[in-house]
Amino acid sequence: MEHIECLIIGSGPAGYTAAIYAARADMKPVVYEGMQPGGQLTITTDVENYPGYPNGIMGPEMMELFKTQAVRLGTDVRFGLITSVDFSSGKPPYIVSVDDNIQISAATVIISTGASARWLGIPSETRLNGSGVSACAVCDGFFFRQQPVAIVGGGDTACEEASYLAKICSKVYMLVRGDNFRASKAMQHRVLNTPNIEVLFNTDTDEILGDKAVTGLRVKNNKTGETREVEIGGFFVAIGHTPNTTIFKPWIEMDATGYIITKPDSTHTNVEGVFACGDAQDKTYRQAVTAAGTGCMAALDAERYLSSVMHSK
């Protein structure tokens, strides 16, 4: 069985930063890229708030640069999914499965599996997913050029995506369930000052209409109970994310929503030799730069852990 000194699960800013540090510390890191190589930034456009890029950079390009840097320093980046882990012994090495068919062992594990888009959970959303229903305006907005679309959510993501859609679609209905946005003031202003965005507050999605593809939407005012139908071609969901931590649940301490709990001021989990960083353990900041910061911490913690084990032998 292959033995890895530092296994990094996930390839967003946290995973690649951990890899850069682990490689420089001679830990021969192996990164398994997971379901979405490069992570969530690969489905965004401009990143304007990552220091060091004064003119901004496209998300996918930035992640390619992260990867190039990690590889140049000696990281082994592999396409594949860690499908299960066994931390039951509470002491490394741990056995993990790749793509359900290969088993490897790891002396340290860094969890940087990030988070995934959340869905409303109504039947018409599931039925029409991929046929006009999407959780990524940047990926799929293009298909609805010059058509009316709707987006649900009132956070920064929803505002950012509504602004993006407004540039290519004829009209954007923005469905906010409360009577206020959650987004920052700057994003709110941008949305409210875009003429072809109509914000519907106190509004729920009653049903997405269409037989084989989205053709319309029935919305419901949750204060008055009034319903209304609008014609749309695309329906976008931007209501937050769920951490990708299910496979770790039997062993790793998490909060009620699945975010991994790390020990204060560190990336140590409750399991020896297992560290967590990025959006899998951060529900507060969730920025590329903070994910990268905790990725660095995880590699430093893993390195210190390994040398303490070595010295105690």
What are the catalytic residues? 136, 139-140
Q: How far is the CB of 243 from ligand NDP (least distance, A)?
A: 12
Residues in a beta bridge with 148:
171
CB distance 240 to 116 below 8 Å: no
Q: How far is the CB of 91 from ligand NDP (least distance, A)?
A: 36
Element (H, E) at 71: helix 59-72
The binding track of 52-91 with respect to ligand NDP, each residue x by CB under 6 A or -, is: ----------------------------------------
Q: By C-beta, is 240 or 258 nearer to ligand NDP?
A: 240
3-class state of residue 69 by DSSP: helix
Q: By C-beta, is 108 or 281 nearer to ligand NDP?
A: 281
* Polymer length of the chain: 313
CB distance 232 to 146 below 8 Å: no
* Residues binding ligand NDP: number (CB under 6 A): 16
Residues in a beta bridge with 173:
150, 198
Got the DSSP string for 116-127?
A: EE-----HHHHH
39 is a site residue for ligand NDP (CB under 6 A):
no
165 is a site residue for ligand NDP (CB under 6 A):
no
| Closest residue to ligand NDP in the complex (CB) | 155
153 is a site residue for ligand NDP (CB under 6 A):
yes
Candidate list 24, 190, 220, 286; residue touching ligand NDP; CB under 6 A: 286
289 is a site residue for ligand NDP (CB under 6 A):
no
Q: By C-beta, is 97 or 188 nearer to ligand NDP?
A: 188
Evaluate the CA torsion angle 42, 46, 51, 55 in order and state its sign.
positive
The DSSP letter of residue 249 is: T
